[in-house]
Amino acid sequence: RRGTADASYCFYAGEMANSSLRRFDLDAALRRALDRGEFLLHYQPQVDLASGEVIGAEALLRWNRPGVGLVSPLEFIPVLESNGLIGAVGEWVLDEACRSCRDWQEFGGAPLRVGVNLSARQFRDGDVGAVARHAIDRSGLDPRLLELELTESIVLQDADSVIRCLRELRSDGIGTALDDFGTGYSSLSYLQRLPVDRIKIDRSFVTDLTSNPNSSAIARAVVGMTHSLGMTAIAEGVETEGQLGYLRGLGCEAMQGYLFSPPLPGDAFVNLLRDGCRM
């Protein structure tokens, strides 16, 4: 079990008081970042709650900004979305994640999956399915080992075309997960129409699981609903043994969180696989 804290980001809000100047500066630096190879992926292990084994990882984007250090995606992804660079960066993320996942297959017994986050603009601007299939072809990864994570906001912006895209992904064997579940506005009948394989229970419910009866009621309802729709549940942001035990009791299939491991650089994740680390 890894108890280390997540790599701390550099927030440099104080350095530049003028926020529009700061935005301009960020925008210019991000335009160069892809060509200069400043993006990287960290991988947060996902663990099966029944076996305690690592079953895959979520790929999380990092920007190693020269002279600054690792910048949080919460800070630069909104910029990439507004200046349209998210398409190119998202393509890079898919390529890199598929290549890494293919390399992981030499470790461990069961096949290891990789989860990739998608933003709303990627769905609006381009053919996400085609980009994913291209990444799969280039890497030679089994499509069943790629899981695309989308949020309720993506689905809400254009439900019919997103559902069509999800059906295509499914027919290609690519997996899908609904991220941050419970924070949006999806109704049960709506979720029923969505061809997704997994529901990710948002960290906000997991955090209060053992202290707030409302959160535990929501988590229980989400897991129950997930199962009745034939999907599986994974909890994010699990930090304590108490939360883990509670989720196990609910029948949640998998989890990720600092209790097991923070997101790791690619080589550290490979070392963890090599050591056969389990919960």
The residues that touch Ca ion, with contacts defined as CB under 5 A, are 117, 149, 179-180, 202-203, 236
Query: Judging by beta carbons within 10 Å of its beta carbon (0-12, 13-18, 19+), is residue 130 exposed, middle or buried?
Result: exposed
Q: Which does 96 bind (CB under 5 to 8 A by kind): ligand C2E, Ca ion, none?
A: none
Q: Which does 46 bind (CB under 5 to 8 A by kind): Ca ion, ligand C2E, none?
A: none
Least distance in Å: CB of 202 to Ca ion?
5
Least distance in Å: CB of 94 to ligand C2E?
9
Answer for which of 38, 48, 68, 73 binds ligand C2E (CB under 6 A) is 73
Neighbouring residues of 131: CB distance < 8 A, sequence distance ≥ 6: 90, 91, 94, 122
Mask of contacts with ligand C2E, 174-213, x by CB under 6 A?
-----xx---------------------------------
Alpha carbon of residue 190 to chain centroid? 22
- The DSSP line for 48-90 is ETTT-BEEEEEEEEEEEETTTEEEPHHHHHHHHHHHTTHHHHH
Tokens of 74: 């919460």
Least distance in Å: CB of 18 to ligand C2E?
25
258 contacts ligand C2E (rule: CB under 6 A): yes
Q: Which does 125 bind (CB under 5 to 8 A by kind): ligand C2E, Ca ion, none?
A: none
CA distances 191 to 17, 107, 220, 231, 254, Å, are 43, 35, 16, 11, 20
Size of the site for ligand C2E (CB under 6 A): 22
Helix H or strand E encompassing 224: helix 213-228
CA distances 12 to 28, 69, 81, 198, Å, are 16, 10, 20, 36
74 contacts ligand C2E (rule: CB under 6 A): yes
5 contacts ligand C2E (rule: CB under 6 A): no
Mask of contacts with ligand C2E, 121-160, x by CB under 6 A?
----------------------------------------
Least distance in Å: CB of 236 to ligand C2E?
6
Q: At what angle do helices 159-171 and 128-139 cross, to 10 degrees?
A: 20
What are the two backbone dihedrals, phi and then psi, of residue 150, each rounded to the nearest 5 degrees? -125, 155
Answer for which of 30, 33, 44, 104 binds ligand C2E (CB under 6 A) is 44
Helix H or strand E encompassing 114: strand 113-117
> Rule CB under 6 A: which residues touch ligand C2E?
6, 44, 60-61, 72-74, 77, 93, 117-119, 179-180, 236-239, 256-258, 263
